[in-house]
């Protein structure tokens, strides 16, 4: 499967990501088997229920004398929303318990409608447990999380944006909750905003301040050892993604007692695209031990 950078098409990395989150959900439901809490799954960027892949194939039919056209074959895999429902249903078929509620947040109404149709046809018996919210996750998620009662609620949330849509101020809604968060950090999109030989433009600085919820990402830059031709002080940063990932991990640790990963998801050409983190917001030592053990195991299996 081909991965197209920055485009809407996934690759092997997106299947790994989805399988990892689905496996976590299965384990989570097993752990919660005998607990009295109300269990919710919250998909903040839910999509349409399937993830499409495009890969080019040469088609003889489309060849003419002087041109060779490419035809596209489309393939897809179940997306995070349908996988969460499938994992939940599987637990119930095995005699265990599934989620009591599923919340799906999606900006694009057509995608949300498509998701609703898929759920009605594939999981009709779960339809009355599903809540569909059409809107910006940055606005809708804090409202939803803020209305939960952590005396009786527990939740798993998946935050799976295409790029830098998710602000730090929105992630903060999970602080001090009892929610486990699987977070896709948009490594490629952010590294593109951080030139190696000078500070980003003013617009990008503002955007990075919102993404990280602080100004400290500027510490990725240090003074150049040599002054410029005009004697001005200039800055640079180390090439590559390692320092950015160290900074992101430190930043997550400021708000979450459990930070596992990251597993760097790469294209088939080995370019780093995203970094997958598991974040535990619950301060309970027992919750941290259990979620840490499962998350580390799953993230290690995809290269953390
Ligand atoms: C990477 S896709 C999510 C894929 C999904 N997790 C799946 O496995 O099928 C990102 C989705 O977020 C939606 N989206 C983009 N910006 C958003 C926002 N600000 N709030 C909510 N959804 C958004 C897009 O329409 C897209 O469907």
The rounded distance, in Å, linking the Cα atoms of 132 and 118 is 13
Which carries the bigger pLDDT value, residue 113 or residue 234?
A: 113
Six token digits for residue 232: 């001005």
Q: Looking at the domain assignment, is residue 190 inside a domain?
A: yes
Q: Is 185 inside a domain boundary?
A: yes
H or E element that contains 103: strand 101-106
Instruction: Tell whether 3 is covered by a domain.
Output: no
Residue with CA closest to ligand 1 atom 24? 47
pLDDT of 274 > 60? The answer is yes
Q: Whose CA is nearest to atom 4 of ligand 1?
A: 47
| Tokens 């433009």 found at | 201
Q: 3-class DSSP state for residue 171?
A: helix
Residue 93 lies in a domain: yes
Q: Could you report the per-residue pLDDT of 185-198, keeping only the tens digit for each? A: 999 999 999 999 99
Place of tokens 């095995």: 94
**For ligand 1, mutation pick of 24, 53, 140, 161 (most atoms within 8 Å of CB):** 161
DSSP 8-state assignment for residue 199: P
Q: From CA 161, how far away is CA 96, in angstroms rounded?
A: 31
Give phi and psi for 79, each to the nearest 5: -85, 180
pLDDT of residue 65: 42
Whole-number pLDDT of residue 226 = 66
Q: How far is CA 109 from the centre of its chain?
A: 20
Tell me which residues have their CB closer than 6 angstroms to ligand 1: 18, 45-47, 51, 79-80, 105-108, 111, 136-138, 160-162, 165
Q: With 70 as the cut, is the pLDDT of residue 9 above it?
A: no
Residues 292, 270: Cα–Cα separation, whole Å: 27
Number of structural domains the chain divides into: 1
pLDDT value at 63 more than 90: no
- CATH number of residue 294's parent domain: 3.40.50
Q: Average pLDDT, whole number, for the chain?
A: 90
Whether residue 269 lies inside any domain: the answer is: yes
> What is the whole-number distance in angstroms between the Cα of residue 157 and the centre of ligand 1?
13
The 8-class DSSP code of residue 200 comes to P
Q: For residue 237, what are the domain limits?
A: 12-301
Query: Residue 4 domain-assigned?
Result: no
Averaged pLDDT, 123-132: 97
Q: Is residue 5 part of a domain?
A: no
Q: What is the pTM of this model?
A: 0.91
| pLDDT confidence band for 8 (50 / 70 / 90) | very low
Three-class HEC string of 81-137: HHHHHHHHHHHHHCCCCCCCEEEEEECCHHHHHHHHHHHHHHCHHHHHHEEEEECCH
Among 42-46, 94-98, 232-236, 265-269, the minimum mean pLDDT is found in: 232-236
By alpha-carbon position, which residue is closest to atom 10 of ligand 1? Answer: 161
CA 118 – CA 210 distance, rounded (Å): 35
């Amino acid at each position: 499967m081909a991965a197209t950078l920055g485009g809407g098409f996934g690759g092997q990395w997106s299947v790994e990501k989805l399988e990892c989150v689905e496996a976590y959900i299965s384990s989570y439901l097993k752990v919660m088997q005998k607990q009295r809490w109300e269990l919710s799954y919250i998909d903040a960027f839910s999509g349409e229920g399937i993830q499409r892949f495009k890969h080019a194939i040469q088609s003889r039919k489309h060849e003419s004398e002087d041109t060779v056209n490419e035809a596209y074959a489309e393939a897809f895999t179940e997306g995070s929303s349908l996988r969460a429902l499938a994992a939940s249903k599987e637990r119930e078929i095995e005699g265990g318990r599934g989620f009591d509620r599923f919340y799906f947040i999606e900006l694009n109404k057509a995608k949300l409608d498509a998701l609703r149709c898929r759920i009605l046809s594939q999981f009709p018996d779960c339809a009355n447990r599903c809540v569909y919210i059409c809107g910006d996750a940055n606005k809708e998620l804090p409202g939803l999380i803020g209305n939960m009662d952590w005396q009786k609620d527990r939740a798993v949330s998946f935050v799976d944006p295409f790029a830098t849509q998710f602000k730090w101020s929105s992630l903060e809604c999970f602080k001090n909750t009892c929610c486990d968060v699987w977070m896709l950090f948009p490594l490629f999109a952010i590294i593109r905003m951080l030139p190696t030989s000078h500070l980003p433009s003013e617009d990008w600085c503002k955007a990075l301040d919102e993404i990280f919820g602080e100004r400290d990402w500027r510490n990725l830059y240090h003074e150049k050892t040599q002054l410029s031709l005009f004697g001005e002080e200039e800055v640079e940063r180390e090439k590559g993604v390692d320092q950015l990932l160290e900074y992101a991990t430190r930043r997550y640790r400021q708000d979450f007692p459990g930070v596992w990963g990251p597993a760097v998801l790469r294209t088939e050409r080995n370019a780093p695209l995203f970094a997958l983190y598991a974040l535990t917001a619950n301060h309970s030592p027992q919750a941290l031990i259990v979620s840490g053990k499962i998350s580390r195991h799953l993230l290690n299996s995809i290269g953390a």
